[in-house]
Structure 1
Amino acid sequence: MAHQNEPSNKSPEQETPAWLIRVQEQSWEPEILVSGIVLYGLFQLPALLEQLQHFLSHFSFEVFSSGTADESMVAVLKVANVWLIGGFMVHLLLRSIWVALVGLSYVYKNGVDISRLKMGESYNRLIFKDAQYTRNIVRLEEICSTTFAVSFLLFMLLLGGCFFLGVVVALLAAWLYFFPDRAEQLTTLDPILGIIGGIYVLDFLTLGLLKRIPYFSKFYMPIYRVMSWLTLSPLYRKIYYGLVSNHAKWKSVLAILIFMSVTVLLYSGFRLESNPADALTLRLPDSAEQLMYPGNYSNWAGDKPSGLIQIPSDVIESNVLSVFVVHKSTYEDRYIKPSCSYDSRQDSIGHDTLVMDCLSRFYNLQLDGEPVEAEYLFTRKQKPYQVGLQTYLDITHLEKGLHNLELYFQIQEEGDSVRSQRAARVEFYKAPPSVQLPRLNSMLSPEPDMETQ
């Protein structure tokens, strides 16, 4: 009976609960449900992200409208969405093969009957390394579970990066709101964040190398704690370390480098909306003076109109040019209200009149380099939702040919000086009005008899 008193190899805390064993054995059920249901929503997500970027750019803080924070955050979320879609699609494909093998293992108990196929020995070794379905099913089960975990891990890594960027942008927005005159001091923040973020990313790429350096690890601890919370690391780091600790280091490093490389390429594509084929031939950069922006023209813009100015078409055949100037609420407190002494005039003039006066002062148009006296009306566009100023310019005096319309912001400087800053340039071709020919049936029909009418 002495053997009954021998200690067990596992402590009570290490014993696997029976319910967990059952969950592990049936994990394929929630995996398939989550992958299938979530995939449907993931395909709808890009359109919602476009709406999010539109809201941030037009109706949010200045740090989004005048900077690139909105584009960067949305691009990161789109890349995360792509990784999750790809991972879940691979998982569903592998699970489908797994289900097929499970069904066949019930029908054909002995697996593949190699003797009836009568193939050569070399083909048998190549194709049927393991003719039993059971071992194939177990191996595929491991691959499916790992694929599901990796998909979630990659998504959470990028979501954590987006969360970190969102926190930084929120702090910048708060600084600009409470200290609008100290915006220049924010330039010192970029290198500090770059160094901290670079150290954290280096630790990630090297599989926690910085945590193993004796003296540096103590210095790195507070940085790691803060960055862990800012990147949502507690939600996924056990998955990360579970994967890297159970595979060869070179495989883990190679997988991380592939993930980073593909992520950068996807991010550049979403962020810059660039086409890889542009690098193969002569192309002008987006900042080139000679480049026409399709979003400035309603007939070209589709669902991505400009956030600054829009005209109906690149070719204008009438003597009236319809112009819509997009208004962004983020400009109001810092630029528009100071330019028209909004606070001091609220009691002396009607609210509607004051608002239109302020907007008219801030947004200025120039046609072929000459200022334009425009009468604005406030309006709203529904798809996508934009608010702004609508005006109509008489272009009867313009000759046939290429002309340009420019939008300027009148920014109040210190004292009473005003700085005119060009925000957008729109090119259009003035064409003579098209001649409307009479319809053929009206030409062939007889003149009405006046006496019989």
Structure 2
Amino acid sequence: MLRKSNSSGNYLDNLQRDSWQLELLVTGFALAGMLSGVDEFDSFTDRLKDILRGHPNVFGAEVFIILLIDFAFYVTLMHFFVHVVIRCLWIGAIGLRSVMGPTDYETLDLAPTFKKFILRRNGSFDNYIRNLDKLASVIFAVTFLLIAIMVSTYLSIVIISLLFIGLLSLGDGPLVVISGFIMIMVFLLLMLAYLLDFLSAGVAKKNENIARLYYPVYRVFGWLTLARLYRPFYYNLVSHPLGKKIVYFLIPYLIITLMIFGFRLQPNTFFDHRQSEYSDEDRQNIMFSYSYADEQHPDDRNSFIILPSRQLSGPVVEVRIPVQPRLESLVVDHCPDLVPINSYSFTIGGLESFVIGFSLGARQDSLGRVPESMKTRIQEEIIPCLLAPLELKLDDEEVALDQCFVRPPKKGELFTELITFISLRDLSEGTHSFTLNQYEASEDDDKEREKLKRTTVVPFYYVDDRLDLMPAPADQSEEENLR
């Protein structure tokens, strides 16, 4: 038994001695992959944000979900980069020591003041190498602990969102609202107790009376947050003085890091690039690039109305209205009896025949097929409901949306679009604007009492091509010669 214990100890000692190679290998590959995939990751989070934003059952939780995903990605990227730098410094220090040997301060002939300070501050070169090794290993381990904590936080947000959705499905009676509020508050308090116990290195587990009450909470939240993945890391840390300091520093560190990532340098003093910072009157003089098809970036999905260009000409213009979730959430209020064709689902390998997701209330069957009786209702039912919350104006005159077409998304696009064609024959040359108003449905179906949800203004300059086709006036000298 003793021999087996010794062999196991030797095995772990060998692993500890050679673990830097595995750390550097894993970190190097992960860092290379993450750096090469930053653009794809940003595109993925933008698409996820657009899908979740405006969904009636999300309640703004997409802000925390996207923020958490972004934060986890970039914190991990930063930790891996710092780990590689420290490991490279450690390797360089080992190489330098193998050539030069340990530091000999006696040969420097320093004054007593500087000699005492340098010895106290720097110490021996061997201690410097050992400290670099420990620091790199701790950063590597804490990185995965932070990832596990963020996953647990994400799961907690999902659970709270599911509680909201479940309570809404029960109705809006006083008893349901009060009981639901009490249930959610109890859940939040228990989650706060679990978090405080985690940050205090297990203070709730030290008193027997408190431990008996806390034990069921500890077990339940351990399952809900997948704590089994990170508890060995956690208890190994808090069992040592240095590890306790690291755990105590985690929350301040995450807050400081979040503030650093939230820092934004604004190059202009009097302008802000965010659309929400401007009033409706100001937007008439602002040309956002995502509102014009010839200037759009592939990841621009912020506009509710898209024109071909900032400068328009000709008798007709094509106006595109992306069907975003924020628009669909208004459609649900205007047409509560409309059953959706699609539900939120995922496809495997892009094959539409393999659909995984929810089909409650959707028109699709389990294989993603729409019944024949439902395929002919787009023009009769779906388009009128999509147009119900919309009001389109050209300058100050309302434009009738009598004839609209549906354009399915192309490869790389996310949303289906409504397309309509507007006549510009009576428009004078100069600056004009399209205004798209979106309204929430009123309870008594009174159009005048509908609440304005949002307004999108897209200005453009109209060039009248008919002026170029008109004959130029004859020169006065030429008229006299003709006489």
Note closer, same or farther for the CA distance 1:119–1:374 as it changes in structure 2 (3 Å cut): farther
Cα distance, 1:280 vs structure 2: 8.8
Describe the superposition over 1:357-414 as per-residue Cα deviations: whole angstroms up to 9, x where unpaired: 3123322332147362242211124333321211222244456545442243675969
- Which of 456, 467, 481 matches 1:426? 456
- Counterpart of 1:304? 300
- Counterpart of 2:44? 51
The DSSP-based 3-state class of the residue aligned with 1:393 is strand
Note closer, same or farther for the CA distance 1:131–1:424 as it changes in structure 2 (3 Å cut): closer
Greater shift after overlay, 122-131 or 37-46?
A: 122-131
Note closer, same or farther for the CA distance 1:436–1:22 as it changes in structure 2 (3 Å cut): farther
- Counterpart of 2:151? 159
- Counterpart of 1:201? 195
Greater shift after overlay, 225-234 or 240-249?
A: 240-249
Alignment of structure 1 residues 1-400 onto 2, 5 Å: 16-43=8-35, 44-45=37-38, 47-48=40-41, 50-55=43-48, 57-58=50-51, 62-63=55-56, 67-108=59-100, 110-127=101-118, 133-170=125-162, 179=169, 188=181, 190-247=184-241, 251-252=245-246, 255-265=249-259, 269=262, 275=264, 286=276, 289-290=279-280, 292=283, 294=288, 295-298=290-293, 301-302=296-297, 303-306=299-302, 308-313=304-309, 316=312, 320-328=316-324, 331=328, 334=332, 338=336, 351-357=374-380, 358-363=382-387, 364-367=390-393, 368=396, 370=398, 372-379=400-407, 380-397=409-426, 400=430
Cα distance, 1:124 vs structure 2: 4.0
Greater shift after overlay, 117-126 or 357-366?
A: 117-126
Q: Is the 8 A contact 2:51 2:325 kept in 1?
A: yes
Letter in structure 1 aligned against 2:391: L
Describe the superposition over 1:332-375 as per-residue Cα deviations: whole angstroms up to 9, x where unpaired: 995586455889xx999964441233123322332147362242
Greater shift after overlay, 352-361 or 118-127?
A: 118-127
Cα distance, 1:82 vs structure 2: 1.7
Distance 2:234 2:452 in 1: 48
Cα distance, 1:207 vs structure 2: 3.0
Letter in structure 1 aligned against 2:264: N
Letter in structure 1 aligned against 2:456: V
Note closer, same or farther for the CA distance 1:52–1:261 as it changes in structure 2 (3 Å cut): closer
Q: Is the 8 A contact 1:408 1:424 kept in 2?
A: yes
Unmatched tracts of structure 2, length 5 or more: 342-362, 364-369, 469-483
Cα distance, 1:52 vs structure 2: 4.7
Distance 2:333 2:193 in 1: 38
Q: Is the 8 A contact 1:309 1:424 kept in 2?
A: no
Aligned length: 418
- Counterpart of 1:447? none
Distance 2:318 2:191 in 1: 48
Distance 1:60 1:384 in 2: 16
Describe the superposition over 1:110-135 as per-residue Cα deviations: whole angstroms up to 9, x where unpaired: 32344554444444444456675443
Cα distance, 1:172 vs structure 2: 5.1
Describe the superposition over 1:178-227 as per-residue Cα deviations: whole angstroms up to 9, x where unpaired: x3866995773654443333333333333333333543433332222222
Letter in structure 2 aligned against 1:366: L
The DSSP-based 3-state class of the residue aligned with 1:234 is helix
Give the superposed CA RMSD: 4.5
**Normalised by the size of structure 2, how large is the TM-score?**
0.70
Q: Is the 8 A contact 1:79 1:266 kept in 2?
A: no
